Amino acid sequence: MNLKSIKIGKLHTENNVFLAPLAGYTNAVFREMCYGLGAGLTFTEMVSAKGLYYGSEKTRELLHVTKDYGGIKACQIFGNDPEIMRQACESEALKDFDLVDINMGCPMPKIYNNGEGSALLNDLPLAGKIISACKKSGKAVSVKFRIGLDENRLISAEFARMCEDSGADMICVHGRTRDRIYAGAVNYNEIAAAKNAVKIPVIANGGVFGSSDAEKIMAKTGADGVEVARGAMYNPWIFAKICGNPLPDKRQFVLTQLEKTEELYGGRFACVFMRKMCAFYLKSQKGCAQIRAKLFACPTCEELKELISALSF
C-alpha cells in the first residue's frame, strides 16, 4: 500500500492507515496501542453531543487520552441539533482535540430512530447545517457516512459534495448501505464515486481485515487512505502489517494492553473488557471455543494474566 500523509485542514497525519471509531472498543489504551503499531490516526468511541452539552461524566470518560499517545487527538461525536453539535465542539471536554469527526453512518436502530447517525442520509440540508455549525468551532472537521440507506438510494457522490460544500476537511465512506449493517460485500464503486466528486481527502472503510484487503479497497476506489474497523478488533497488529512495521510479540502486546487498561480503568472493567478482546484475538485458533470458556471463567485480572501467559497468539 502506498503510505502517505493526509492533510486534514491544517493537520497532517503520519500516514493514511486509520483506526475507525468503534463503540465499546476504541478506548484510550486501545487507541494508544494501535497508534504504536502504526495507525496514522485514531478516533475515540462515538460520543453523544447531547451528553457533552448536558455535562454527562460518563460521556466525558470516553474522551480520555493517555499520556503516551503521541498522535493527532481525534474524537467522533453524534447528534442531530446543529447548535448542540457546535457547542459540543467548543466545550471544555473537547478543548484538547484537534479533529472532530461527525458520525452520519451509524446504522443501529437506537441511533437511527432518534434521527442521528445514518438517519442524516435522509436529510442533506440538516446534515449540511450540522457540518457548518461544527466548523464554526475552529476545529478540523471530518464526516463519516454510508453510501445510502439501501440499494435503491445510493447517494455517495451527492452526500460527499454536500459535506465538502458545508466545510468538511475530510470524509470517510463506509461502502455499505444502512440496511446491511456490517454484512455483505463492500460497494467499491460508490466509494469511488464519492472520491471523484470532491477535492478533500476521501478515506475508504469496510471489509478491511488484512493487508490484501487494504490494497484492494485502495486500488478499487482510488481513495486517499483506508480506515480499519472490526479488523482491528480481531487483529490490532494489522496496522504493523499494512505499514510494514515490525510485528510485536503478540502475547506481550496483550499483557501490556491488560496492564494499561487495569491501571487506567480499574480491575473490574479491565477484566471484562480484556476477556472480550482476547476472545476476538484468538477467534481463528483451533480450540478457540474451549479457550473462550476459560477466558470468561477468569474472575480477576491476575487470573486472566496467568491464562494469557500460557496462550499462544
Q: What is the pLDDT of residues 164-202, one digit of tens each?
A: 999 999 999 999 999 998 888 999 999 999 999 999 999
> Which pLDDT score, from 0 to 100, does residue 313 have?
87
Catalytic residue check, 106: yes
118-143: average pLDDT: 98
50-75: average pLDDT: 94
pLDDT at 272 over 90: yes
pLDDT per position as a tens digit, 202-241:
999 999 999 999 999 999 999 999 999 999 999 999 999 9
Helix/strand/coil (H, E, C) string of the chain? Answer: CCCCCCEECCEECCCCEEECCCCCCCCHHHHHHHHHHCCCEEEEEEEEHHHHHCCCHHHHHCCCCCCCCCCCEEEEEECCCHHHHHHHHCCHHHCCCCEEEEEECCCCHHHHCCCCHHHHHHCHHHHHHHHHHHHCCCCEEEEEEECECCCCCECHHHHHHHHHHCCCCEEEEECCCHHHCCCCCCCHHHHHHHHHHCCCCEEEECCCCCHHHHHHHHHHHCCCEEEECHHHHHCCCHHHHHHCCCCCCHHHHHHHHHHHHHHHHCHHHHHHHHHHHHHHHCCCCCCHHHHHHHHHCCCCHHHHHHHHHHCCC
Share of the chain above pLDDT 70, in %: 100
267-295: average pLDDT: 93
> Which pLDDT score, from 0 to 100, does residue 288 have?
87
> Which pLDDT score, from 0 to 100, does residue 75 have?
98
For residue 24, name the pLDDT band (cuts at 50, 70, 90).
very high
Share of the chain above pLDDT 90, in %: 94
> Which pLDDT score, from 0 to 100, does residue 265 have?
96
For residue 50, name the pLDDT band (cuts at 50, 70, 90).
very high
> What integer best gives the mean pLDDT of the chain?
96
41-66: average pLDDT: 95
For residue 283, name the pLDDT band (cuts at 50, 70, 90).
confident
pLDDT at 285 over 90: no
> Which pLDDT score, from 0 to 100, does residue 4 have?
97
pLDDT per position as a tens digit, 55-65:
899 999 999 99
pLDDT at 287 over 90: no
> Which pLDDT score, from 0 to 100, does residue 252 have?
97
Catalytic member of 34, 75, 106, 278: 106
For residue 293, name the pLDDT band (cuts at 50, 70, 90).
very high
